[in-house]
Amino acid sequence: PTFTTAPTETSPPDETTPPEETPADGTAQPSPTAEPQPTSSLPQIDPEAEFYGAHHIDTMDDIDLWTDESGTLPDNQYIKLEMVDGVMYVTGKRSLWDTWWRSGFDLVDFYIEMDVNTGDCDPDDAYGMILRASQADMPATGYLIGYTCGGEVFARRLDSVSPYVATAILLPTETDLIYSGPNQNNTFGVLMDGEEISIYVNRRYFTTLTDDTFPWGRFGIFVSAGNTGDFTFSIDEIRSWGTGD
């Protein structure tokens, strides 16, 4: 992958998502290729053994990958990022809104995972990543993939922010692979390989989706606070491996 340190932006006011209950042009539809396999008997993936491409680790000790154009971490009406003692805290401030923050790091085909603590969450709070996202100076597009605190996995394709169009490619699907509830530790993982999007929960395979809309892009953080708003989760580390040589 190519490393860049360009500033990132969250969606400006005219690009921020409407409340989730507002219908969008991209009506949620399940992916015909989604076949979740919620069983803990599946073997765990070993990224170190399986992937030989460029390897990057973000230990959350340096803010440079996540700063805005002013060189600071964002804290606006939609999202707040804070780093304390090697942990990044992510707060989605508005209830029932999708919010993201794109990094300065481009990837094409890769496996990425992050170690998360759910914090003091409600079942409808959600956390995850935006993957193959557009560049920071362009309206956001990409794949929003997440877990809910209630123990569901979902994925949607963000096609437009003005108007907001996000089409479900995996409807929320409950799985016992997620440690659900407050203050739980989970490892969120996704393998992006061409048009295939494979989701891993705590390093165990969950499902593979097929979508070829976005072939490459930046990765970033995704948060969607539930009805109460102000949902904060924390990230201990993000690791990525290229799937090429």
- With contact defined as beta carbons under 8 Å apart, do 142 and 131 qualify? yes
Cα–Cα distance measured from residue 127 to residue 92, given in angstroms and rounded to the nearest whole number: 9
DSSP string across 165-225? EEEEEEEEEE-TTS--STT-EEEEEEEEETTEEEEEETTEEEEEEE--S--SEEEEEEEEB
Grouping H, G, I as helix, E, B as strand and the rest as coil, residue 93 is coil
| DSSP structure class, residue 16 | S
Per-residue pLDDT tens listing for the chain (245 residues): 322 223 333 333 333 444 333 333 333 344 444 444 445 567 899 999 999 888 999 999 999 999 998 999 999 999 999 999 999 999 999 999 999 999 988 899 999 999 999 999 999 999 999 999 999 889 999 999 999 999 999 999 999 999 999 999 999 999 999 999 999 999 999 999 999 999 999 999 999 999 999 999 999 999 999 999 999 999 999 999 999 75
DSSP 75: B
Task: Give per-residue pLDDT as tens, 47-77.
Answer: 999 998 889 999 999 999 999 989 999 999 9
